[in-house]
Structure formats: structure tokens, C-alpha cells
Amino acid sequence: MYGATEDVLGPVTHADRGSAVLEDPLGPLRNILRRWRMLILFLAVGGLLGWLSGVVATEADTAPVAIDHYQAKHVLVLDSNVPDTQAILGVRNLNVLAKRITIGEVPNAVAESVGLTPTAAATQIRVLIRSDSESLDLVAIGTTPAQAEALADAYATELLRYLNAEAEQYAADAIASAESRLAEAEANLAATRDNLRVARAAEDERTENLLVQDEQQFVSARIIANAAVLEARADGVPIVPIESLQSAAGKSSVISQDRFGELVDNASIGQNIEALFGDDVETRSDTGALSAVSNRLPNGMLPRVGSGALLGLLAGIIIAMVLNRLDNRVRSKRQVEALLDLPVIAEVPSLARTHKRAAEVHARENPRSRFAEQYRAIASTLSYARRARRTTGQVVLVTSPGPSEGKTTTVANLGAMLAEAGERVLLMNCDFRRPRLHVLTGSEYQPMDLNKTQIPDVELISNVVENSDALPTEVIAAQRSVIKKAMKLYDLILIDTAPLLATNDAVDLLDLVDDVVLVMRAGKTTMHAADRAAEILDRRRAHVLGVAITDVDARHSADYYYYGGYYEERPVVDTGRFSWFRRRADIDLSDDVVDLVDSDNELSSSGAKK
């Protein structure tokens, strides 16, 4: 479909690969077990409710509780499908958002709209934060169903109105600030030109030369300020990434008078914001309601606990199946190959949190790990493709559909594995907006220079221009020039680029690239984004070797069940930081820093390895 390895290995289809079309009989079960924490939680909650029902049945008075108050819930959810190119109002912090609901302008506006006093409106609302689903439950209480429902919906309406007004003000301020800078630049330019005319009339050559320099600077400032004005106007009003998932209308429930008073008292001292985790539910109930449920359960404490746990587990399994059905994120090799018709050349397992936070090349630090073996598999694929062409100076572009999917980590670790195999490797950071490759490889960030890394036989170009304000077209032109010259000096050039769907940087380099490795992160990359990225590469006729899936849960990887134990048969003996690297006797590993890009942006081969 997307031309993966066709000219090297022949056309690749589902029939050729075979594994892409094989059904995994245990796949549905593994998908459910992937949410084992939720299943345990439902099991525990069900058992707890069964135990409570037994306690109520034996000790509590089952007489109905006088109920004369109500509560209603309006659910707000953060929209995660807003395009990255669209300006978005920063409201991702749910705790801050909850405080805006309970304190400040919103409660006062709600009180006026529903006819309550500000104090009553502020004490009859509570906010439940659900970080896992990025949603807020606005739970309002009242003396009638209509009052509780109206209050919950009014809070949601006023919050959205308040945030939209804030977004409009933000856009207006951005445009005003940019226009102010433009006006200042134009005023300075006009004053300079007036002074320049006076100097020329007076034939003051020294002053004239100084003013000419000032004029050029103010012209540049005006261009930059004008671009900022156009950008601010193009961005427009930021989108408020919040939408109503469930209205409170017609969905009120009864609560007791004691519960009503308890909630009002908590809200009056600022304890009306709660954080729920995972599939936590409120276990606080009125005695009468619990008694009504307990009468329908078997008699005896043990049967009640068992029945409740079984019902909770069943509910958890059903919810897990629904969530798996709605999940549109890439998680497995089979999904990727069936969706894109591209081979998966590596399933890189996820790392422990300590390793993720550490700025290190993990495959280099742990060369016998399954993590390192996956990058060796990619390195072997690249080497085979080059040998099949019988060429040197292989240029490999590593990209992904979106950000934070493992491009930079892949480039750093892949470079280490290629160097281990005796290749001369150059790493190029072409993601000039968010450079990070030098951090992972322990290199200096010196633009216009060839930097040594902590990995033997691997060198790095952090940036091809010194001017941080250079236009993207200028940077890409410089990158293309360096790539053309570097092909003559290195076995492989690995390019770390910006995401395909975020910028056009990677696309502008495709005609110089021999092979492309597409990186996707399990549990993050959506199927739509993966398909769109593969479509872009296909239209540009890019030679895609395959897909590397990162952050794969090894426990749910098919290979883990067959080969996972192999990596734990014997401990790894630390024989020194660089001792496992294979040295090349015919290469002079000098300590001289090679200046790959000179002041005219030309490649210098004086210090490169011959």
C-alpha cells in the first residue's frame, strides 16, 4: 500500500507477511486483562457493597428515610481531538478549572441566573475531578428536582461562557500587543529615515552610515512585527477544549436531608472539590437506599460479599469490553499491519519510570536487554536494505505522526546499535523547533559544528544554522546541503525530524532520503493519525522500511510469551562503559572535533573519518 521495501525486498502484502492476517484467539482476553487494575477495583467495590449490605441487613434500621432533597449531575469533558494547528485555551489543569467553578465570577453569575443568593449557589455545588477520563462532574443539590437540575446546568453554561470570554480577550490582547510592536517599529523607522535625510542634506557621511545601519535594523524589526500581527490574526480566538457530555436535565436523584446538610457544610468551608481515580465511585449512600438493595441479595455475610464481588467483576468486564471497542489508539503489531499494510520491524518495550526520566541511551547502557535487541532488529533491516542496493551513505529519516512518540529515542538508540555493528554514523537533529537529541547522547549543543557524543563512532549535528530566528525555509535549505555532503563521509545518516502531521519539515527532505522508519507509540498514536502519516509518505513515494512501535507493554506483546524469558536466563555482567562496542581497526578514532559546517554553511571534511 505504501511502498515499504518494495525495491529492495519486493512488494510486501498481507499474504507475504502472514502474521498480519492471523487472528489471535486470546486477543480479546488479553485486551480485557490489560485493564486488570479496573477489574480488581470493580471486584473490590462489589465485595465492599455486598459486605455493607450485610451490615445494613443485620444492624441498620430498614425503615425508609425521609427524603426531601435532590442532586443532579452535569458532566463536562476535555476534548482531546482538537488539531495541533489550532490555538487552544490552556484549561488542561482540572484542579484549577474546578476552583474557577466554585470560587469567583462563575458562582456569582450562576446565583443571578437561577435566583439564589451567592452564598446559597456556592454551597449547593461540588465538583468531582476524574483525571483518567479528563472530565468534571458538576453535582448540584436542591430542594426540588428542577432546582438541582437547573443549578447544575447553569454552572456548566456559565463556566463555558466565562472561558469563551477569556479566549476572546486573550486573542484581542495578542493582536493588540503585536500591533503595538508593529507601530513602534514603524515609528522608529520613520524617525530614522527623517534623520537620514537630514544627514544626507548636511553631507555628514559618518552619521549617514550609522543611520543606514539603523534603518536596516528597523526594517527587519518591522517585518518581524508585521509577521507577528498576521500570525496573531490568523490564530484567531483560541478554542475552548471543553464540551458537555451529559446534561443534568431529567437526571436528578434523591438524597436525605442529613446528606444535604452535610454537603452544604462541606462546601461552606471549601471542601466541595473531590478527586476520583480510575473507576472510583461514591460509596456514600443513605441507609434507606442501601437497605432496599440489601433486601434483594442472598442472606448471610459470605454469600452477599461473594455475590457483590461477582457482580462487580462482571460490570468491570463489560466496561472493559466497551472501552476496548471504543479505543482507537494503536496498541499492537497486528493493528498496525492490518491498518497500514506496512511491516512492523520492531516492538520496543516500555521502560521503567527511572529509565524514562534518565537522559541516557538505554540500549547502550543495557546492551543485552530486549529493548536493545529491538533496535538491533531495526539496524539489521537498514543494513540489509543498503547491501541490497550496493551503495554507501545511506540516509534514513525517522519520523512519526505526532509529538512524543519516540523519534528522538529511536534515533539515539538506533545510532548506538549501528555503531556497535561497526558503522560510521552521523546523527542529524532536523527538529529545530524542539531539539533534544544532544541531551540523550550526552553531546554539546553547538550549532554549525560536528559534535562528539558519548557513543563511540557516533557524531551529531545539533543545528545547521546559528541564527535561532532563521526562517524554516532557510534551515531546511541548510539541512539539505549538509545531508548531500555527509553522504560521502558516513555509512549512515540518521535524521531526527519534526512530526509529519505537525509541520512540513520532514516532507521537504524526503527526496534526499533512502529509507524512512515510521515511529508510533503504543497507547498514544491514534489510528487516524497513523493512517494519515502513512498516506503522506505514500503520496511522496517515500521508501518506508517499516514501523517501529515504542512503549509496548511486554506482557501483552505476542513475542513476549514465546521469547520473553530468554532475556532473563543470565545476568548481564558489566564489563565497562564502552567495552561491548565492536571496534574497527581500520578507522582512526581521533579526538579531534570535526567542523562539518563552516561559516558559509559548507561541509568541511578535514576532520572527518576517512
Domain total for the chain? 3
Q: Is the pLDDT of residue 571 over 50?
A: no
Residues 364 and 292 in one domain: no
Instruction: Identify whether 40 is part of a domain.
Output: yes
String of DSSP letters for 197-227? HHHHHTT-HHHHHHHHHHHHHHHHHHHHHHH
Instruction: Identify whether 588 is part of a domain.
Output: no
Q: Is the pLDDT of residue 12 over 80?
A: no
String of DSSP letters for 141-194? EESSHHHHHHHHHHHHHHHHHHHHHHHHHHHHHHHHHHHHHHHHHHHHHHHHHH
Residues 374 and 483 in one domain: yes
Residues 391 and 510 in one domain: yes
Instruction: Identify whether 268 is part of a domain.
Output: no
- How much is the mean pLDDT over the chain? 77
Q: Is the pLDDT of residue 381 over 60?
A: yes
Residues 400 and 506 in one domain: yes
Q: Is the pLDDT of residue 244 over 50?
A: yes
Residues 347 and 442 in one domain: yes
Q: Is the pLDDT of residue 274 over 70?
A: yes
Instruction: Identify whether 223 is part of a domain.
Output: yes
Has this prediction a pTM greater than 0.85?
no
Q: Quote the pLDDT of residue 399.
A: 92
pLDDT band at 354 (very low <50, low <70, confident <90, very high): confident
Residues 10 and 55 in one domain: no
Percent of the chain scored above 90 by pLDDT? 9
Residues constituting the chain: 610
Residues 6 or more apart from 427 whose CB is under 8 A from it?
A: 411, 412, 415, 437, 441, 453, 458, 459, 460, 461, 494, 496
Residues 465 and 546 in one domain: yes
Residues 319 and 445 in one domain: no
Residues 377 and 498 in one domain: yes
- Looking at residues 58-81, what average pLDDT do you find? 70
Residues 317 and 431 in one domain: no
Reported as a single tens digit per residue, the pLDDT across 502-546 is 888 888 899 999 999 999 998 888 888 999 999 999 998 999 999
pLDDT band at 494 (very low <50, low <70, confident <90, very high): very high
> Distance between CA atoms of 443 and 593, rounded to whole angstroms?
12
Classified as helix, coil or strand, 552 is strand
Reported as a single tens digit per residue, the pLDDT across 197-240 is 888 888 888 888 888 888 888 888 888 888 888 887 877 777 77
Task: Please tell me what DSSP assigns to residue 571.
Answer: P
- Looking at residues 21-32, what average pLDDT do you find? 61
Residues 403 and 526 in one domain: yes
Domain of 42? Answer: 34-65+286-327
Neighbours of 14 (CB within 10 A): 14
Residue whose C-alpha cell is 502531521: 501
Q: Quote the pLDDT of residue 444.
A: 82
| CATH number, residue 400 | 3.40.50.300
Using left for φ > 0, alpha for ψ between -120 and 50, and beta otherwise, residue 65 falls in beta
Q: Is the pLDDT of residue 157 over 60?
A: yes
Q: Quote the pLDDT of residue 16.
A: 41
Q: Quote the pLDDT of residue 255.
A: 86
Q: Is the pLDDT of residue 107 over 60?
A: yes
Q: Quote the pLDDT of residue 493.
A: 92
Domain closes at, from 191, 226, 245: 245
Instruction: Identify whether 601 is part of a domain.
Output: no
Reported as a single tens digit per residue, the pLDDT across 292-327 is 444 555 666 777 788 878 888 888 888 877 777 777
- Looking at residues 495-502, what average pLDDT do you find? 89
Instruction: Identify whether 483 is part of a domain.
Output: yes
Instruction: Identify whether 574 is part of a domain.
Output: no
Q: Quote the pLDDT of residue 345.
A: 92
Q: Is the pLDDT of residue 600 over 80?
A: no
